[in-house]
């Protein structure tokens, strides 16, 4: 388990150091760049206040709760001063080592819009209701959780990358899209 976590942290660091990423939107590949203005974090259990009251967090961040979030324990941390790439990587790696912080997710820049925040959640649309078995199989292979079917939308599902091989929902949604087995994928941005 420790080796897997170390590999995941190395992949995230390598990915962020590359500073370039993309995702699919209506079948088109859209380029993204890591925004060093803020990050989303998921807090373990009910440790929200304890996690966010630390000297480290208060020294580097302003804390913003997002009331529209699908998750109660998802918090946006806005950097007080814009870090350079090395500082960003060092600070986010320190956050990842905090036992009360379960996950750290980047924001991405796009032309002419606010930075897009990532989390562990994304939506997936089946091509046909019978494709649920295929979804279950691919999700199990990648250790992705199928959280629920979207109400009144029988071919849409909400999935989570927590404890999977993916560092954020964009990585996972790209993987599922590139299989060609699904009608649509949408990363939830916060």
144 burial (CB, 10 Å; 0-12 / 13-18 / 19+) is buried
End-of-domain residue from the set 95, 113, 131: 113
Q: CATH number of the domain at 109, please.
A: 3.30.70
Model confidence, pTM: 0.75
Pair 92, 156 in one domain = no
Task: Tell me the pLDDT tens digit for each residue of 55-109.
Answer: 888 899 998 876 555 566 888 999 999 999 999 999 999 998 888 888 899 998 8
Average pLDDT rounded to a whole number, residues 147-162 = 95
End-of-domain residue from the set 80, 113, 146: 113
Task: Tell me the pLDDT tens digit for each residue of 120-133.
Answer: 999 999 999 999 99
Pair 108, 137 in one domain = no
Please tell me the total count of domains within the chain: 2
Domain residue limits at 157: 121-187
Location of structure tokens 């009608």: 183
Pair 74, 144 in one domain = no
Pair 182, 154 in one domain = yes
End-of-domain residue from the set 64, 88, 113: 113
Pair 54, 7 in one domain = yes
Pair 134, 177 in one domain = yes
- List all residues 6 or more positions away from 82 whose beta carbon is below 8 Å from its beta carbon: 36, 37
Q: 29-48 burial, b if ≥16 CB within 10 A, otherwise e? A: eeebebbbebbbbbbeeeeb
- Beta-carbon-side half-sphere exposure of residue 174 (alpha carbons within 13 Å): 15
Pair 107, 133 in one domain = no
Pair 125, 109 in one domain = no
Identify the three-state secondary structure at position 79.
strand
Residue pair 190/107 in contact (Cβ under 8 Å)? The answer is: no
CA distance 90 to 177: 31
């Amino acid at each position: 388990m420790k080796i897997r976590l170390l590999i995941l942290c190395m992949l995230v660091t390598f990915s962020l150091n590359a500073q370039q990423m993309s995702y699919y939107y209506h079948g088109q590949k859209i380029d993204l760049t890591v925004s060093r203005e803020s990050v989303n974090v998921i807090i373990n259990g009910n440790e929200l206040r304890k996690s966010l009251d630390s000297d480290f967090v208060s020294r580097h961040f302003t804390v913003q709760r997002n009331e529209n979030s699908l998750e109660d324990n998802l918090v946006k941390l806005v950097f007080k001063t814009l870090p350079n790439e090395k500082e960003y990587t060092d600070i986010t790696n320190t956050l990842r080592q905090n036992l009360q912080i379960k996950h750290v997710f980047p924001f991405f820049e796009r032309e002419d819009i606010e930075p897009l925040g990532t989390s562990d959640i994304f939506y997936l649309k089946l091509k046909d209701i019978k494709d649920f078995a295929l979804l279950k199989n691919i999700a199990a292979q990648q250790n992705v959780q199928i959280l629920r079917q979207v109400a009144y939308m029988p071919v849409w599902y909400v999935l989570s990358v927590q404890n999977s091989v993916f560092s954020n929902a964009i990585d996972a949604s790209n993987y599922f899209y590139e299989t060609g087995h699904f009608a649509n994928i949408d990363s939830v941005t916060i």
